[in-house]
């Protein structure tokens, strides 16, 4: 199984499946030189595994992105705004606002879509920009 993260804006992208097309939107921090906790991950190809719960126990029913250069503990988990992530990816079914912040909404629904598509199994994630991040 393969999934693409196509970055559309500095903090917003979309998960695309070669077989299913558009899956959901993705909120992540903008590019900040791959600095831990404040930057999105570099463009590249990554192995992803399903986790019933994260190592910290904070996130359940999520995914772990492996072998990100100079980074660790990059997850795909529920959330809405850049404030909800420390370098992780947050799926949502639509884009909107929470307070005065841009957000992905329907994150739980988007995670259910991902689980159905991946069958809670590992997959290959291809991260690509259509914007300039650096």
Q: What is the pLDDT along the chain (134 residues), one digit of tens a residue?
A: 999 999 999 999 999 999 999 999 999 999 999 999 999 999 999 999 999 999 999 999 999 999 999 999 999 999 999 999 999 999 999 999 999 999 999 999 999 999 999 999 999 999 999 865 44
**Domain extents for the chain?**
2-128
Contacts of 5 (CB under 8 A, 6+ apart): 13, 14, 15, 16, 26, 89, 125, 126, 127, 128
pLDDT for the residue numbered 132: 57
Q: What is the pTM of this model?
A: 0.94
What is the dihedral angle through the alpha carbons of 59, 3, 42, 58, rounded to the nearest 10 degrees?
0
Structure tokens at 39: 């930057």
């Amino acid at each position: 199984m393969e999934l693409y993260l196509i970055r559309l804006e500095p903090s917003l992208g979309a998960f695309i499946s070669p077989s299913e097309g558009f899956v959901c939107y993705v909120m992540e921090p903008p590019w900040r030189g791959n600095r831990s906790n404040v930057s999105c991950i570099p463009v590249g190809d990554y192995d992803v595994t399903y986790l019933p719960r994260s190592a910290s126990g904070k996130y359940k029913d999520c995914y772990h992105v492996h072998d990100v250069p100079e980074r660790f503990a990059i997850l795909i988990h529920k959330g809405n705004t850049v404030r909800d992530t420390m370098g992780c990816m947050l799926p949502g079914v639509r884009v909107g606002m929470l307070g005065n912040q841009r957000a992905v909404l329907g994150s739980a629904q988007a995670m259910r879509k991902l689980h159905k598509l991946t069958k809670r199994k590992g997959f290959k994630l291809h991260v690509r920009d259509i914007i300039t991040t650096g």
